[in-house]
C-alpha cells in the first residue's frame, strides 16, 4: 500500500459559519493507494475527536498503526488496491492542521483563545477546498465514525452531489444533552487547571507531564466511550495488587486503567484543540441553516449506509435509526444496521470484524 503524508497550504480566506474568517490555514492529510485515470475511485475518511489524518499503516519507528488500520489497506474492506483513500486532519486539531496553537498570521504568536469557534460545517468546507486543490471534484464515498460520521452526514446535506455514497457509524443528527454534559466535565476540568493559564501556556508545555485537567476530562469522555458491560468484562472488581484495600487512595484496576490512559493522552493532545473540537461536536445539528431536520435530510442524494451499536451510550442507536426512518419515508436510498455489541461507543474503532463486510459490500455494490 502506497502511503503519502502531506500538508496543504491555503491563502484564500475560509469563511466560517460564525461569520469570522480563517486566513491563511493548512490541512494535514494522508493518501493511500493510487488515483485512477478519471478520479472515480476516491474515498474520503473523516476522523473522530482525538483522531488524526493517520488512519492506517505504520510510520517508521512507530509501534502503533493508524486508528482504522484493520479497515483500510490492500485487500481490506476499504481496499487500497482499488480505491484512492484521502484521510484529513480537521482544522482545529493539533496534528498538523491549523488550530488554536498555530501562529495568528502575520504575528509569530499562537491564536490561543483568539482562534475562531469552528463547526462541523467549517471542517468539511475546508476539506472540500483541499480536495479541489488536489483536482478531486467528486467522491465515490465519504466514511467516518462518531465526529467523523457527523462530517460525512454534513457533506451529504450541504453538498448533495459531491459523493456517491455516505457511510456513517456511531453518530447522530444532532448532539444531545447527555453527550454535551460529558463534554462539560472535560471543559471545566481543563479551564480550572491552574497550569492551563486561561489558554496562555507555551507550545509543548504539557509534552512531558501532561495537563491534569485534560486527563480528568478525558476520564469522563472515556467512560462515555465504553459501556457498563464492557467495563465489567475488562476489569471486574479486581483491585490493584500492591494497593491496600483500606488505603483511601487505593485503586481498582478500572481506576488504574483510567489514570494510565488519560495521563498519556494529556501529553499528546493539545488542551485548547480539545476544547475547540468538543465545542464543534456540541454545536453539531444537521438542521441548522435549514427550516427543519426533514428539509436537511431531504437534500441527501447519496446512497447512505448508517451503522450503530447497541451498547453505544454516547450516540444511541435510535438517533441514527431516526435518520434512516426519515430517509425511508422520503424514498431515499438508505440502509441501516444496528450491530449487536456490548463494547460501547468505541466499537466503531475496535470491533471492525462486526461491520467491515457491510462497508465492503456497500462499496462494491452499484446503485
What is d(CA 126, CA 14) in angstroms, rounded to the nearest whole number? 7
CA dist 325 to 203, 319, 320, 336, Å?
47, 10, 9, 9
What is the C-alpha radius of gyration for the chain, rounded to an integer number of angstroms?
20
DSSP symbols for 199-219:
G-PPTTTTTTT--HHHHHHHH
pLDDT at 25: 98
| Residue for grid cell 441527501 | 300
Residue 338 has pLDDT above 70, yes or no: yes
Q: How many angstroms separate the CA atoms of 324 and 97, rounded?
A: 33
Cis peptide bond upstream of 106, omega within 30: yes
Q: What is the CATH number of domain 179-280?
A: 1.10.1740.110
Q: Are 140 and 43 in contact (CB under 8 A)?
A: yes
Which three three-digit cell numbers place residue 293?
431536520
Q: How far is CA 133 from CA 10, 15, 26, 120, 129, in A?
A: 9, 17, 12, 20, 6
The 10 Å Cβ neighbour count of residue 309 is 30
Question: In a 3-state reduction of DSSP, which class is residue 97?
Answer: coil
Residues 93-149 pLDDT 10s:
999 999 999 999 999 999 999 999 999 999 999 999 999 999 999 999 999 999 999
pLDDT on residue 59:
84
Q: Dump pLDDT digits (tens) for 75-84.
A: 999 999 999 9
**Residue 61 pLDDT > 80, yes or no?**
no
Q: What is the pLDDT of residues 186-226, one digit of tens each?
A: 999 999 999 999 999 999 999 999 999 999 999 999 999 99
Domain layout of the chain by residue ranges: 3-175+283-364, 179-280
Q: What is the pLDDT of residue 41?
A: 97
Domains 3-175+283-364 and 179-280 share a fold: no
Catalytic residue among 50, 341, 345, 346: 345
Helix residue ranges per DSSP H, 90-158: 120-133, 147-158
Which of 193, 270, 312, 346 is catalytic? The answer is 312
366 pLDDT more than 90 = no
Q: Is residue 345 annotated as part of the catalytic site, yes or no? A: yes
Q: Summarize the confidence of residues 145-155 as an average pLDDT.
A: 98
pLDDT in tens, 9-56: 999 999 999 999 999 999 999 999 999 999 999 999 999 999 999 999
- Can you say whether the dihedral through the CA atoms of 271, 95, 173, 130 is positive or negative? positive
Residue 54 among the catalytic residues: no
Confidence band for 365, pLDDT divided at 50, 70 and 90: confident
Confidence class for position 64, pLDDT limits 50, 70, 90: confident
Mean pLDDT, residues 67-73 taken together = 97
Please enumerate in sequence order all residues whose Cβ is within 8 A of that of 249, keeping only pairs 6 or more positions apart, or say none.
Answer: none
pLDDT over threshold 90, residue 63: no
pLDDT per residue as tens digits for the range 219-278: 999 999 999 999 999 999 999 999 999 999 999 999 999 999 999 999 999 999 999 999
Which pLDDT band, with edges at 50, 70 and 90, does 332 fall under?
very high
Please determine, for residue 60, whether its predicted confidence score (pLDDT) is greater than 90: no
**SS3 category, 323:** helix
Catalytic residue among 93, 146, 227, 341: 146
In 3D, which of 47, 33, 142 has the Cα closest to residue 83?
33
312 is catalytic: yes
Percentage above 70 pLDDT, the chain: 100
pLDDT band at residue 367 using 50, 70 and 90 as cut-offs: low
CB 345 within 8 A of CB 312: yes
Average pLDDT, the chain: 96
CATH value of 3-175+283-364 in 3.30.70.100, 3.40.50.1820, 1.10.3720.10, 3.30.70.1450: 3.40.50.1820
What does the pLDDT read at residue 152? 98
What DSSP state is assigned to residue 46? E
In angstroms, the CA 174 to CA 193 distance is: 30
pTM over 0.95: yes
Return the C-alpha cell found at 350: 475496535
Amino acid at each position: 500500500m502506497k502511503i503519502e503524508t502531506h500538508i496543504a497550504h491555503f491563502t484564500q480566506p475560509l469563511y466560517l459559519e460564525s461569520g469570522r474568517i480563517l486566513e491563511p490555514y493548512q490541512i494535514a492529510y494522508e493518501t493511500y493507494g493510487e488515483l485512477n485515470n478519471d478520479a472515480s475511485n476516491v474515498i474520503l475518511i473523516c476522523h473522530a475527536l482525538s483522531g488524526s489524518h493517520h488512519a492506517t499503516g505504520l510510520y517508521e519507528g512507530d509501534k502503533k498503526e493508524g486508528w482504522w488500520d484493520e479497515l483500510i489497506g490492500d485487500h481490506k474492506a476499504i481496499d487500497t488496491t482499488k480505491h484512492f483513500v484521502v484521510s484529513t486532519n480537521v482544522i482545529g486539531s493539533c496534528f498538523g492542521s491549523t488550530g488554536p496553537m498555530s501562529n495568528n498570521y502575520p504575528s509569530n504568536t499562537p491564536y490561543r483563545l483568539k482562534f475562531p469557534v469552528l463547526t462541523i460545517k467549517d471542517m468539511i468546507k475546508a476539506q472540500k477546498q483541499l480536495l479541489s486543490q488536489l483536482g478531486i471534484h467528486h467522491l465515490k464515498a465519504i466514511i467516518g465514525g462518531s465526529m467523523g460520521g457527523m462530517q460525512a452526514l454534513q457533506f451529504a446535506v450541504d453538498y448533495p452531489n459531491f459523493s456517491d455514497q455516505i457511510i456513517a457509524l456511531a453518530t447522530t443528527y444532532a448532539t444531545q444533552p447527555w453527550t454535551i454534559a460529558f463534554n462539560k466535565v472535560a471543559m471545566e476540568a481543563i479551564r480550572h487547571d491552574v497550569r492551563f493559564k486561561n489558554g496562555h501556556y507555551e507550545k509543548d508545555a504539557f509534552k512531558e507531564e501532561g495537563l491534569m485537567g485534560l486527563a480528568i476530562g478525558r476520564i469522563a469522555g472515556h467512560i462515555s466511550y465504553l459501556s457498563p458491560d464492557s467495563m465489567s468484562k475488562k476489569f471486574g472488581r479486581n483491585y490493584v495488587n500492591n494497593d491496600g484495600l483500606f488505603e483511601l487512595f487505593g485503586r481498582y484496576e478500572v481506576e488504574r486503567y483510567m489514570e494510565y490512559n488519560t495521563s498519556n493522552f494529556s501529553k499528546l493532545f493539545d488542551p485548547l484543540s480539545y476544547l475547540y473540537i468538543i465545542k464543534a461536536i456540541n454545536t453539531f445539528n444537521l438542521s441548522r441553516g435549514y427550516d427543519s431536520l426533514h428539509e436537511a435530510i431531504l437534500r441527501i442524494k447519496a446512497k447512505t449506509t448508517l451503522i450503530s451499536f447497541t451498547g453505544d451510550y454516547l450516540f444511541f442507536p435510535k438517533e441514527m435509526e431516526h435518520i434512516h426512518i426519515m430517509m425511508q419515508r422520503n424514498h431515499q436510498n438508505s440502509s441501516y444496521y444496528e450491530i449487536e455489541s456490548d463494547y460501547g461507543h468505541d466499537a466503531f474503532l475496535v470491533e471492525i470484524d462486526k461491520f467491515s463486510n457491510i462497508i465492503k459490500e456497500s462499496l462494491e455494490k452499484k446503485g
